[in-house]
Structure formats: structure tokens, C-alpha cells
Chains A and B, each alone.
Chain A
Amino acid sequence: DIQMTQSPSSVSASVGDRVTITCRASQGFGSWLAWYQQKPGKAPKLLIYAASSLQSGVPSRFSGSGSGTEFTLTISSLQPEDFATYFCQQANSFPLTFGGGTKVEIK
């Protein structure tokens, strides 16, 4: 199985800050990586697929990059509604696997 390691596990930030979250894979797999946002009591929501493609309806302040074993999710200017937990997921091969999550908290 491909192991996905996210860092940091939590980050404190203010509205307007730029936030970057990293996801590292135990083996390389091209660009088949997704990012999700999850708020308490809700299902995850797809933000980015194929490492850098923005899902329809997702604000452009979210962006993704990377390939191989290292990927990043960047929120260019944090908004109040962005305080949530973010997960990466490799979508390259079964079993698909998720990172442990990064909680973005208010500073």
C-alpha cells in the first residue's frame, strides 16, 4: 500500500494568511492525488484532483501542486470559512489511501 504522510498535523493561522500543507507518498505515482476539506459533522468535500485541477465550484484561492512523492495544497489568503481539516488521498492504485489530516485553526 502507498502510505501518505501529511504535515503539519495542525496549523494556527489568521484570516488573510497564506497556508501550505504538504503530503508525501511512500512511493511515487505521478499526479493522481486529491485534496479534501472536512468540517465538523460533515462529509469531506473534494477541492483538488489530479494534483492541481480545481474541482468545480471551489474558490481559486485553493491550489495544488506536485508530482511523484511530494504534493502541496496552498490556500493563498485564508478566509473564515476555510478553518477545517484537510486530507490528501492518493488516487493512483488500490487500495486508495488518505493522509492523516491537517487541522487549520484560528490563531
Chain B
Amino acid sequence: EVQLVQSGAEVKKPGESLKISCKASGYSFTSFWIGWVRQTPGKGLEWMGIIYPGDSDVRYSPSFQGQVTMSADKSISTAFLQWDSLKTSDTAMYYCARPRSSGDDAFDVWGQGTMVTVSS
């Protein structure tokens, strides 16, 4: 079964760093892109960017460029989303998702989501 399993909920303070994960199974991790999507009540679903684990090619949305870092570790079939200095506005649910084929295709496999809460 193709699956993406994300790390658990996080509660952090502004200015702290954070790295959340998305572990893939059931398919060739290096052959498919993995994207990240943010969801908030106010802004809905936002596509943050996408990474190709095969060669670590990353495409960021301009809205998130410089705000987060996407990476992947082929040896453990896991993608990561990282913040160096969190803001309260980063409070959201974060999903990883796999496109059907190419990087700009619809997402047919989703992780269960990681809730990130940033509060002083």
C-alpha cells in the first residue's frame, strides 16, 4: 500500500526551529515528487513547494521561498519541511502529498497532516 506517514503535532515558541517529516512507503521514493501543502482557516489550502527526492530538485512557491526549507533523505524514504525561526503565522496544518506523475500533477496520495502551533 502506498502511504505517506507524517510526524506528530508540534507546539513551539516564536523564534524556535522545527523540522517535520513525511515517510513514504509502498513505492519507489526516488521516482515521484513530494509536495507540501499548508492549510489554515483563513487562507485555505496553499501549495508551498515540491521536491524530487531522486536528485533533490526543489521548486518553492514564491510565497514560501526563503521561509522554509524542503529536503529529502533517500536512505530512509523521508521528506522534510524545516523552519529556522518560526512565527505565530506559521500556525497551521501541514500536509505532504505525492503527485500522480509529474511534479505539476494532482496529488493522489496524502499524509495525515502535522499540526504546528506557534505561540508564546
Which residues of A are at the interface with B, using a C-beta cutoff of 8 A? 1, 32, 34, 36, 43-46, 49-50, 55, 87, 89, 91-101
Q: Is B44 an interface residue (CB 8 A)?
A: yes
- Contact pick for B47, options A43, A50, A95, CB 8 Å: A95
Q: Are B95 and A91 in contact (CB under 8 A)?
A: no
Determine if B62 and A91 form an interchain contact, defined as CB atoms under 8 angstroms apart. Answer: no
Q: Could you tell me the distance in whole angstroms from the C-beta of B114 to the nearest C-beta in chain A? A: 11
Closest 6 pairs (CB-CB, A-B): A34-B106, A95-B61, A43-B110, A49-B106, A98-B45, A96-B47
- In the complex, are the beta carbons of A98 and B44 less than 8 A apart? yes
A-B Cβ contacts below 8 A, count: 62
Please report the C-alpha to C-alpha distance between residue A84 and residue B21 in the assembled complex, in whole angstroms.
27
Give the interface of B toward A (CB within 8 A). Answer: 35, 44-47, 49-50, 59, 61-63, 95, 97, 99-100, 103-108, 110-113
How far is A56 from B108 in the complex, measured between Cα atoms in Å?
10
CB-CB under 8 A for A98 and B47, given A43-B95, A43-B113, A49-B100? yes
| CB<8 Å pairs between A and B, sample of 30 | A1-B62, A32-B105, A34-B107, A36-B107, A43-B111, A43-B113, A44-B45, A44-B95, A44-B97, A44-B110, A45-B110, A46-B100, A49-B105, A49-B108, A50-B106, A87-B45, A89-B106, A89-B107, A91-B99, A91-B105, A94-B103, A94-B104, A95-B47, A95-B49, A96-B35, A96-B47, A98-B44, A99-B44, A101-B44, A101-B45
Q: Which residues of the other chain, A, contact B99 by a CB distance below 8 angstroms?
A: 91
Give complex CA distance A34, B50 in Å. 17
